[in-house]
């Protein structure tokens, strides 16, 4: 019996090759999209999961009055370890402030992600070399390691793991270091690096005023984290008092400690935004919807072929075959199609994988041994077989022999309403994707064309390791660069407007204290970036006090302190008084997702980092010549890293802030095309089914004198109504979803009406064309063929 059923199934699938191809092809494409997205979701949600202490590691952060931060002072970790037995280990990390060159005799690599850790952090976070990690012998001892890729670049023929002597920075500077060994960097981790120094202790002589370290703790299993947070918070306040910090201010009183799990750090850190997490949820829902509408489409196409299987079912039932046997037979046929669709889906996913990896900057592979897809796919196959096949199987196995053998049967009215509902769902999803795509594109266009408050064009950012905090040290370098033809201005700062966060500190004006950002700059900073002045003046060499205690604030800072006439006012912070000499207009240094932060700019700042970020404004017509001359003269201009001239265009760096949203736009574009394609296939199937069922009605109408246009209008009317209903359902959903997405931006568009109208026009046009093409066959058919047996 099984052999007979298999022959019938294969013969039936071959006989209806066109519909079978559409069925299998549509499901295969949807499965390919689902596989790619699910692999990416699995990758993004399993960062650091290979760490055996994954569930017990937390980062210690601080909730400030205006924001949250993961930066803490180095003595805090030691105090936590000494006071709380439930804390098994404490580790401290600090990221390097700049990129530097590492050279062997013949080759050079660049450390752009230099990480300093203490011994406990290296063990806790599994930052372990290929050989056993040795503990530094004393506080001054440093174990310097390189990522395997960097070591292979420097020593391509190296076969052992013996220490190697390398040069740091320019070879002319003569600064050397010993590389103890290599570490295979886990790129599927939140803690990555290309150069690592392991120390016995970090920040040994620094007090609670140095809030520029990350503190990780490992707790015992079952620890009450909420209670531990409270205890660490109390300890922190007491330690501040012991350290002589002023805890009487509102800023310190409102500062509290929080513990954020390691598993949260990649997608939804407490001290950060969860935009990546929201994008991932959107992608997951998108993938499931695509697969769902593909299953709906499969169901409709299968039911459209029901009339061709009716007599087969009737004969089998007369011969004594039970309904459950027929159901099993039809499910087996559908399983065969789903298996083929799955194989094709895997092949399509493999073909699309390079472009997908390039889009999301990942290196996923379907055939890797640890891919969860290998055991998930059989479950997915069974699920889609059941979802797509159970309804057609029940319909086909439920035909009454007495009706089907006479050639006169109709499926139930409930079945009709269900199929209508499924088609409406398909088009509703398609409309949501089309509308969302158009709104995302509008927001991205707004971000690309909106005035950000500064001009990154023609500004070149030069990588540098020389510290220019003292203007007198920087002035000779500035003069040498300015002699090069085409250079308009030169400046240096502690940061560039590429989305990077600035430092923050407490500043007081007229008795009002607030935590605001600060950025250490030099002369010509605002002129180089073409930042507009709102009041007062820029820093000027003619005023000697500008290098001592002058400050410029932005409009947000003036508003935060309620200053209507800030020029000449005193602002105190970092144990010194600044005189406000200017107010600049707000500019979007952090992009569109984050509001412009109240910021203070100064040339001298005791609390700031070293000024290393060089920016040059170059004439567009002399750009290539100026850069070539800079490269040639760089060893003389900047001896510390003169061998390694590297530059970037600032507008390219700023443009990377839009990368995530551009990825989302690309995904929604593909999803919109895919859902339209699948929905059109479903519409084609349903139109075919409805037309076949109404052949006799069409023949009677033609005999009675109905024109072709009237019949086409009749057949289109019900589908037109369904698409209108789909638009009415999907518009509110699309509005809510896109509104939620737009709320992740501090600066955004108002939701326009045009995308909703365009989505309606597209779906209506596709419906009319698809149904008319299918209905045209019925209209042109001879009425005699439909009525000759009546």
Tokens of 117: 């850790």
Both 508 and 631 in one domain: the answer is: yes
Q: Is 95 domain-assigned?
A: yes
Check residues 653 and 209 and name the one with the higher pLDDT: 653
Closest CA to 195 of 329, 98, 264, 324: 98
Same structural domain, 613 and 480: yes
Among 597, 631, 657, which residue terminates a domain?
A: 657
Residue 590 domain-assigned (yes or no): yes
Scanning the structure block, which residue is given the tokens 């000499």?
A: 581
| Backbone torsion region of residue 105, taken as left when φ is above 0, otherwise alpha when ψ lies between -120 and 50, otherwise beta | alpha
Is 427 in the same domain as 535? no
Find the Cα–Cα–Cα–Cα dihedral 532, 535, 541, 545, rounded to 10°. Answer: -140
Whether residue 665 is found in the same domain as residue 566: no
Within this chain, do residues 624 and 679 fall inside the same structural domain, yes or no?
A: no
Q: Is residue 452 part of a domain?
A: no
pLDDT at site 415: 57
* CA pair distance 555, 208, nearest whole angstrom: 31
Contact indicator for 726, 756 with CB cutoff of 8 Å: no
Give the whole-angstrom CA distance, residue 420 versus residue 722: 7
The 3-state secondary structure of 307-322, one letter per residue? HHHHHHHHHHHHCCCC
**209 and 287 housed in the same domain:** no
Spatial contact of 586 and 555, defined as CB atoms under 8 Å apart: yes
pLDDT exceeds 90 at position 225: yes
- Reported as a single tens digit per residue, the pLDDT across 313-360 is 666 666 666 777 777 777 777 788 888 888 888 899 899 889 888 888
In a domain, 269, yes or no: no
Q: Which of 97-106, 437-446, 688-697 has the highest mean pLDDT?
A: 437-446
Looking at the structure of the chain, the number of domains it has is: 3
Residues in a beta bridge with 102: 109, 168
- Answer yes or no: do 14 and 69 share one domain: no
With respect to residue 453, please indicate whether it lies within any of the assigned structural domains.
no
* Shared domain check, 727 and 633: no
**Distance in Å from the first CA to the final CA of the chain:** 37
Residue 217 is assigned to a structural domain of this protein: yes
Collect all residues with Cβ–Cβ distance below 8 Å to 223 and sequence separation of at least 6: 56, 86
Q: Concatenated DSSP letters for 515-580?
A: EEEEEE--TTHHHHTTPPEEEE----TT-GGGGTTEEEEEHHHHHHTT-SS-TT-EEEETTEEEEE
Give tens-digit pLDDT for 588-643: 998 888 899 999 999 998 887 888 889 999 999 999 999 999 999 988 888 777 77
Question: Is residue 694 located within the same domain as residue 720?
Answer: yes
Q: Do 653 and 664 fall within a single domain?
A: no
Q: pLDDT tens for residues 403-421?
A: 555 555 555 454 567 667 7
Q: How confident is the model at residue 683 (pLDDT cuts 50, 70, 90)?
A: confident
Distance CA 560, CA 509 (A): 10
* pLDDT score, position 454: 93
Of the three residues 598, 632, 657, the one that is the final residue of a domain is 657
Is residue 49 one of the residues assigned to a domain?
no
Helices 754-780 and 695-703: angle between axes, nearest 10 degrees? 70
**What is the residue range of 764's domain?**
2-43+275-447+659-787
Of 308 and 148, the one with more pLDDT:
148
According to DSSP, residue 502 is labeled P
503 lies in the same domain as 622: yes
Last residue of a domain, one of 264, 283, 304: 264
Split at pLDDT 50, 70, 90, the class of 201 is: confident
**How far is the CA of 507 from the CAs of 309, 550, 553, in angstroms?**
81, 14, 12
Q: Report whether pLDDT(299) > 90.
A: no
Q: Is residue 89 part of a domain?
A: yes
CA-nearest of 391, 349, 331 to 40 is 349
Same domain, 650 and 668: no
């Amino acid at each position: 019996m099984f052999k007979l059923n298999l022959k019938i199934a294969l013969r039936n699938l071959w006989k209806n090759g066109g519909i079978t191809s559409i069925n299998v092809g549509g499901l295969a494409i949807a499965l390919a999209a689902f596989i790619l997205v699910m692999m990416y979701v699995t990758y993004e949600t399993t960062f650091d999961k290979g760490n055996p202490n994954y569930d017990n590691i937390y980062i210690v952060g601080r909730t400030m009055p205006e924001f949250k931060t993961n930066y803490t002072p180095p003595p805090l970790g030691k105090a936590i370890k000494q006071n709380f037995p439930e804390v098994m280990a404490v580790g401290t990390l600090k990221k390097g402030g700049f990129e530097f060159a590492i050279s062997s005799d013949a080759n050079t690599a660049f450390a752009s992600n230099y990480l300093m850790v203490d011994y406990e952090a290296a063990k806790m976070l599994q930052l372990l070399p290929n050989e056993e990690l040795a503990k530094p012998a004393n506080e001054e001892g440093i174990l310097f390691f390189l990522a395997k890729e960097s070591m292979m670049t420097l020593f391509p023929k190296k076969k052992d793991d013996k220490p190697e002597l390398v040069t740091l920075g320019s070879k002319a500077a003569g600064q050397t270091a010993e590389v103890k060994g290599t570490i295979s960097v886990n790129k599927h981790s939140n803690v990555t690096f290309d150069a690592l120094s392991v120390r016995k202790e970090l920040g040994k002589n620094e007090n609670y005023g140095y809030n520029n370290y990350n503190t990780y703790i490992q707790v015992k299993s079952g620890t009450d984290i909420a209670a531990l947070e409270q205890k660490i918070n109390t300890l922190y306040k007491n330690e501040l008092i012991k350290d002589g910090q002023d805890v009487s201010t509102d800023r310190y009183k409102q500062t509290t400690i929080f513990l954020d799990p390691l598993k949260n750090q990649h997608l939804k850190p407490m001290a950060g935004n969860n935009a990546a997490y929201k994008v991932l949820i959107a992608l997951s829902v998108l993938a499931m919807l695509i697969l769902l509408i593909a299953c709906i489409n499969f169901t409709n196409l299968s039911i459209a072929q029901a009339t061709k299987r009716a007599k087969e079912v009737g004969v089998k039932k007369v011969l004594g075959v039970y309904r459950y046997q027929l159901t099993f037979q039809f499910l087996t046929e559908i399983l065969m199609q789903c298996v083929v669709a799955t194989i094709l889906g895997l092949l399509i996913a493999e073909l699309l994988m390079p472009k997908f990896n390039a889009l999301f900057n990942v290196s996923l592979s379907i055939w890797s041994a640890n891919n969860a897809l290998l055991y998930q796919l059989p479950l997915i196959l069974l699920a889609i077989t059941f979802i797509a096949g159970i309804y057609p199987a029940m319909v086909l196995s439920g035909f009454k022999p007495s009706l089907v053998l006479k050639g006169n049967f109709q499926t139930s009215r409930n079945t009709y309403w269900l199929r209508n509902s499924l088609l409406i769902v398909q088009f509703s999803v398609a409309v949501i994707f089309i509308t969302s795509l158009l709104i995302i594109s509008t927001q991205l266009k707004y971000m690309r064309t909106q005035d950000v408050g500064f001009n990154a064009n023609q500004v070149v950012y030069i990588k540098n390791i020389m510290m220019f905090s003292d203007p007198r040290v920087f002035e000779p370098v500035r003069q040498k660069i300015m002699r090069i033809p085409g250079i308009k201005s030169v400046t240096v700062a502690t940061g560039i407007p590429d989305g990077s966060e600035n430092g923050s500190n407490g500043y007081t004006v007229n008795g009002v204290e607030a935590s605001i950002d600060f950025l250490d700059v030099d002369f010509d900073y605002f002129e180089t970036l073409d930042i507009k002045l709102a009041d007062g003046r820029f820093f000027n060499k003619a005023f000697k006090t500008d290098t001592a205690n002058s400050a410029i604030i932005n409009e947000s800072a003036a508003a935060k302190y309620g200053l209507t006439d800030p020029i000449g006012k005193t602002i105190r912070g970092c144990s010194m008084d600044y005189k406000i000499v200017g107010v600049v207009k707000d500019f979007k240094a952090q992009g569109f997702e984050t509001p412009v932060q109240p910021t203070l700019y100064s040339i001298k700042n005791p609390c700031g980092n070293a000024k290393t970020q060089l920016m040059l404004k170059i004439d567009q017509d002399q750009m290539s010549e100026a850069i070539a001359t800079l490269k040639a003269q760089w060893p003389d201009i900047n001896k510390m890293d003169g061998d390694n001239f590297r530059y970037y265009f600032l507008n390219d760096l700023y443009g990377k802030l839009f990368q995530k949203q551009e990825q989302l736009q690309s995904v929604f574009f593909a999803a919109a095309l895919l859902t339209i394609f699948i929905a059109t296939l479903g519409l084609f199937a349903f139109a075919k089914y409805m037309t076949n069922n109404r052949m006799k009605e069409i023949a009677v109408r033609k005999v009675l004198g109905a024109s072709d246009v009237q019949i086409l209008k009749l057949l289109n009317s019900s589908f037109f109504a369904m698409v209108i209903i789909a638009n009415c359902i999907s518009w509110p959903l699309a509005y809510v979803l896109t509104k939620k997405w737009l709320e992740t931006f501090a600066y955004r568009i108002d939701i326009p009406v045009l995308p909703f109208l365009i989505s309606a026009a597209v779906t209506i046009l596709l419906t009319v064309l698809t149904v008319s093409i299918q209905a045209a066959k019925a209209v042109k058919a001879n009425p005699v063929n439909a009525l000759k047996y009546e």
